[in-house]
Amino acid sequence: MDKQHLIDCHERIKPFIHNTPVLTSRLINGMAGASLFFKCENFQRMGAFKMRGAANAILQLSNEQKRNGVVTHSSGNFAQALSLSAQSLGVTAYIVMPDSAPQVKKDAVKGYGGVLVECESTLEARERASQDIVEKHGATFIHPSNDDHVILGQGTAGKELLELYPNLDYVVTPVGGGGLIAGTALAAHYFGNDCKTIGGEPFEVDDAYRSLKSGKIETNTSTNTIADGLKTQLGDRNFPIIQKHVQEIIRVTEDEIIQSMRLLWERLKIVCEPSCAVALAAVLREKERFKGQEIGIVISGGNVDLSRLPF
């Protein structure tokens, strides 16, 4: 994927996304000893960067494909993103979700016009349900993170950030399924001025960290993290990009995630997910490395259950 792909993608999705604001905090800069620029994708439509990739993926379809709809399996933000993108474009979105998923997530998908398809809570059941919809309706399957068009879409957040701050030394994102960090790394490569991409990942789900070490896609045997958006694993489309363009993945503890989340809420005055705090926690953990640098941080999303805060 070259520079022009990212430029074209951005132009294509602009009518469907917000160019989200960038916030700063004098106090957090003081704590970090660096200048941090927070790209607030919690203010994105439906509340997360996932809107970008979902919109791009649907916009790539032919008219016939659009008529037949799209399908994904997700119980997270991509479910809502695909639903809202599809609704904006008059396309049917089938969302496969385990029947055990929280009612609020099911309602959100329906609220954005998605067609909810419930299944058992196993990977096999989800894949079978998705395949059934592909066969029955001719719908196009769109993976939440392991899809070139999705990766490009997610990269536009970093592109917007670098358009405002072209001399960033680093851009840091959380790492879950790998779509955001792969897209961001492409944006940093093509639009940055020697800007390096770094990932933040919980110790509890450090599959991406281990994957970069071993050179193959690793999985997690347990997922005991508050950063519920980061439990997924890398895929064969985004992993090569990550290998090529991501400098390092920094792991953080659950305590560091919660402390950083509280900082973001108290000092930036934003409602954001624990996953976002992983990127800030990574910067605060390795202060010496980032000292005096200009660092962009992607705040990935803001869909939080206010009744279940860790503070």
* Residues designated catalytic: 50, 75
Q: Which of residues 105-124 bind its own copies (CB under 8 A)?
A: none
Q: Which of residues 248-267 bind its own copies (CB under 8 A)?
A: 262, 265-266
Q: Which of 1, 101, 134, 271 binds its own copies (CB under 8 A)?
A: 271
Instruction: Select 103 or 307, whichever has its Cβ closest to its own copies.
Output: 307
Q: What is the total residue count of the chain?
A: 311
Question: Minimum Å distance from CB 65 to its own copies?
Answer: 27
H, E, C per residue of 17-86 = CCCCCEECCHHHHHHHCCEEEEEEHHHCHHHECHHHHHHHHHHCCCHHHHHHCEEEECCCHHHHHHHHHH
Q: Which of 47, 178, 183, 274 binds its own copies (CB under 8 A)?
A: 47
Residues 6+ apart with CB under 8 A from 143: 72, 150, 235
Q: Which of 9, 42, 126, 233 binds its own copies (CB under 8 A)?
A: 42
Q: Pick the piece of the chain touching its own copies (CB under 8 A) from 21-29, 64-72, 164-172, 179-187.
A: 21-29
- CA 175/CA 212 separation, integer angstroms: 12
Question: Minimum Å distance from CB 38 to its own copies?
Answer: 11
- CA 207/CA 209 separation, integer angstroms: 5
Q: Which of 15, 221, 292, 306 binds its own copies (CB under 8 A)?
A: 306
The DSSP H or E segment spanning 170 is: strand 170-174
- CA 170/CA 296 separation, integer angstroms: 6
Q: Which residues bind its own copies (CB under 8 A)?
A: 21, 23, 26, 42-43, 45, 47, 262, 265-266, 268-272, 302, 304, 306-307, 309, 311
